């Protein structure tokens, strides 16, 4: 719990955590952890995809009501193999290869949740979520509200998202703002293996619907996982690198880009503080505002197009709440307001460390 409790958002995150713990699903079970090499250490190095797999396995093992459902997630283990081995371990009634229909996946998950299940849906790629958009926004998001609180909708929708993989159209999208804009949903995105391992379990334990955006370009990036503690609640943001001159904030794959930019800047004598947003809705502004109050400069970075985006919301809110601390306007570094381009051009489209540093220079020169 390194999250400062100085703002209104901290109690939320803390409350969610204690509920999760009460649900009994958050206890780390080292024995059930994957790749159980004989070691007493509580630190395990794992690629993000494997970390999510390990989290899913624990959730399935700890609660018989947890179900996975999606296209090709059974014997194949998903196109990114995130569910590899789970069908064999838990069977076809726990890990469901569904028909190829996203509205069907989300809509039947709602019915299963009404029955007391906790479905975890995999949407194969970010660009394929839209056939399920109606069920997510007009049904799932409102279901508890229109039931006047008499039911819960503990559904997780996992979405591999973002670019950097040189793929074809509809395989590199960042649609998170649509869902962050929808009341009733929660939206999160892990930036490293540790968070992926813990956040997927916390999302499944949540009694609210959670959109879980997985930065697919990080699936194979290794990182250390502390199996004994999550360290940060699901809906808390976190400073992942301390600095004094400029604050940069991002989520998902952009966290890696920001850390890279901070390394480069350090060589040039600029100290960048990096905030991993982690939760896109609700946003935990406490660490961000605390940071901006010290640095006076904020750069918001995202792969998504900038127009009416998560970055726009952060810029507006920080301007409202930290106006007199800012030495320069909040600058957004985003994808362009165009469709995601043919992948040979994604290097121009996607925010890079260089583009982040260009914005840092502009902010400092203001």
Partner 1 sequence: MAASIDSPRPAPTVQLLTADGRFQPSDSAGEYLPYLDRLSEDDYLRFYRDMFVMRSFDVEAANLQRQGQLALWVPSHGQEAAQVGSAYATRPQDHVFPSYREHVVGMIRGLDLNNILRMLRGVTLGGWDPATNGNFHLYSLVLASQALHATGYAMGIQFDGTVGTGDPEKDEAVIVYFGDGASSQGDVSEALVFAASYQTPQVFFLQNNQYAISVPVVRQSRTPLYLRGSGFGIPGTQIDGNDVLASFAVTSKWMDDARAGHGPALIEALTYRIGAHTTADDPTKYRLDEETASWIARDPISRYRTYLEGKGVDQSFFASVDEEAADFAEDARKRALAIVPPTLETIFDNLYAEPHALIAEQKAWAESYESSFGEGQA
Q: Tell me if residue 186 falls in helix, strand or coil.
A: strand
Considering the complex, state which of residue 281 and residue 334 has its C-beta at the smaller distance from partner 1: 281
Considering the complex, state which of residue 106 and residue 300 has its C-beta at the smaller distance from partner 1: 106
The interface region with partner 1, picked from 108-116, 191-199, 214-222, 239-247 by CB under 8 A, is 108-116
Neighbours of 353 (CB within 10 A): 18
Q: Does 93 engage in binding with partner 1 (CB under 8 A)?
A: yes
Shortest reach from residue 67's CB to partner 1, in Å:
8
What's the rounded Cα separation, in Å, for the pair 135 and 310? 22
| Residues of span 231-290 touching partner 1 by CB under 8 A | 282
How big, in percent rounded to 5, are the helix, strand and coil portions of the chain? 40, 20, 40
Class of residue 149 by CB neighbours under 10 A (exposed 0-12, middle 13-18, buried 19+): exposed
Shortest reach from residue 94's CB to partner 1, in Å:
9
95 token code pair: 């890990």
Q: Give CA torsion, residues 262, 268, 270, 275, to 10 deg.
A: 0
The interface region with partner 1, picked from 70-78, 80-88, 98-106, 171-179 by CB under 8 A, is 98-106
Cβ atoms of 42 and 228 within 8 Å: the answer is yes
Q: Does 75 engage in binding with partner 1 (CB under 8 A)?
A: no
Tell me whether residue 194 is one of the annotated catalytic residues.
no
What's the rounded Cα separation, in Å, for the pair 302 and 142? 28
Considering the complex, state which of residue 37 and residue 148 has its C-beta at the smaller distance from partner 1: 148
What's the rounded Cα separation, in Å, for the pair 190 and 160? 11
200 token code pair: 């997927």
- Residue of 37, 148, 268, 320 that binds partner 1 (CB under 8 A): 148
- Residue of 150, 320, 323, 365 that binds partner 1 (CB under 8 A): 150
Q: Please tell me which residue in 87, 164, 171, 194 is annotated as part of the active site.
A: 171
DSSP symbol at 343: G
Q: Does 63 engage in binding with partner 1 (CB under 8 A)?
A: no
| Residues of span 128-147 touching partner 1 by CB under 8 A | 131, 134-135, 138-139, 142, 144-147
Considering the complex, state which of residue 133 and residue 226 has its C-beta at the smaller distance from partner 1: 133
Shortest reach from residue 21's CB to partner 1, in Å:
13
| Stretch 300-339: interaction string toward partner 1, x if CB under 8 A | ----------------------------------------
Q: Does 12 engage in binding with partner 1 (CB under 8 A)?
A: yes
The interface region with partner 1, picked from 31-39, 77-85, 206-214, 344-352 by CB under 8 A, is 206-214
81 token code pair: 């193999």
Shortest reach from residue 152's CB to partner 1, in Å:
5
Q: Which residues pair with 249 in a beta bridge?
A: 275, 300
Cβ atoms of 318 and 298 within 8 Å: the answer is yes
What's the rounded Cα separation, in Å, for the pair 244 and 233? 25
- Residue of 114, 168, 266, 308 that binds partner 1 (CB under 8 A): 114
Q: Is the dihedral of CA 78, 81, 83, 85 positive or negative?
A: positive
Considering the complex, state which of residue 48 and residue 200 has its C-beta at the smaller distance from partner 1: 200
Q: Does 110 engage in binding with partner 1 (CB under 8 A)?
A: yes
Q: Does 208 engage in binding with partner 1 (CB under 8 A)?
A: yes
What's the rounded Cα separation, in Å, for the pair 78 and 91? 15
Q: Which residues contact 285 (CB under 8 A, 6 or more apart)?
A: 7, 9, 237, 317, 318, 321
Q: Give CA torsion, residues 339, 340, 341, 343, to 10 deg.
A: -160
The interface region with partner 1, picked from 31-39, 95-103, 122-130, 319-327 by CB under 8 A, is 95-103
Residues that bind partner 1 (CB under 8 A): 7-12, 15-16, 19, 67, 93, 98-99, 101, 103-104, 106-117, 131, 134-135, 138-139, 142, 144-153, 183-184, 186, 206-208, 282
Active-site positions read 171
């Amino acid at each position: 719990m390194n999250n400062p409790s100085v703002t209104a958002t901290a109690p939320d995150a803390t409350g969610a955590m204690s509920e999760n713990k009460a649900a009994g699903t958050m206890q780390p079970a080292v024995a059930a952890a994957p790749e159980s090499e004989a070691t007493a250490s509580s630190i395990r190095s794992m690629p993000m995809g494997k970390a999510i797999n390990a989290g899913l396995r624990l959730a399935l093992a700890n609660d018989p009501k947890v179900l996975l459902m999606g296209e090709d997630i059974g014997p194949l283990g998903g196109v990114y193999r995130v569910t590899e081995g789970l069908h064999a371990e838990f069977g076809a009634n726990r890990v469901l290869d569904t028909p190829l229909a996203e509205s069907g996946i989300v809509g039947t998950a709602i019915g299963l949740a009404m029955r007391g299940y906790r479905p975890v849906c995999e949407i194969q790629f970010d660009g394929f979520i839209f056939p399920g958009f109606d069920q997510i926004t007009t049904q799932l998001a409102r279901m508890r509200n229109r039931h006047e609180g008499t039911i819960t909708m503990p559904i997780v929708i996992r979405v591999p998202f973002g670019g950097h993989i040189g793929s074809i159209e509809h395989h590199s999208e960042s649609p998170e703002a649509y869902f962050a804009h929808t009341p009733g949903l929660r939206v999160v995105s892990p930036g490293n293996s540790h968070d992926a391992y813990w956040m997927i379990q916390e999302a499944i334990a949540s009694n609210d619907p959670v959109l879980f955006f997985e930065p697919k370009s990080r699936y194979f990036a290794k990182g250390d996982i502390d199996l004994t503690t999550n360290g940060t609640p699901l809906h808390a943001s976190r400073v992942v690198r301390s600095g004094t001159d400029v604050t940069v904030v991002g989520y998902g794959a952009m966290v890696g880009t920001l850390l890279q930019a901070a390394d480069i800047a350090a060589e040039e004598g600029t100290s960048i503080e990096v905030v991993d947003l982690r939760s896109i809705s609700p946003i935990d502004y406490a660490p961000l505002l605390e940071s901006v109050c010290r640095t006076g400069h904020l750069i918001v970075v995202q792969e998504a197009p900038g127009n009416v985006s998560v970055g726009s919301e952060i810029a507006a809110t920080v301007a409202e709440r930290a106006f007199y601390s800012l030495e320069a306007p909040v600058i957004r570094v985003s994808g362009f307001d165009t469709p995601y381009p043919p992948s040979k051009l994604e290097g121009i489209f996607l925010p890079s460390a260089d583009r982040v540093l260009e914005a840092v220079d502009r902010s400092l020169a203001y």
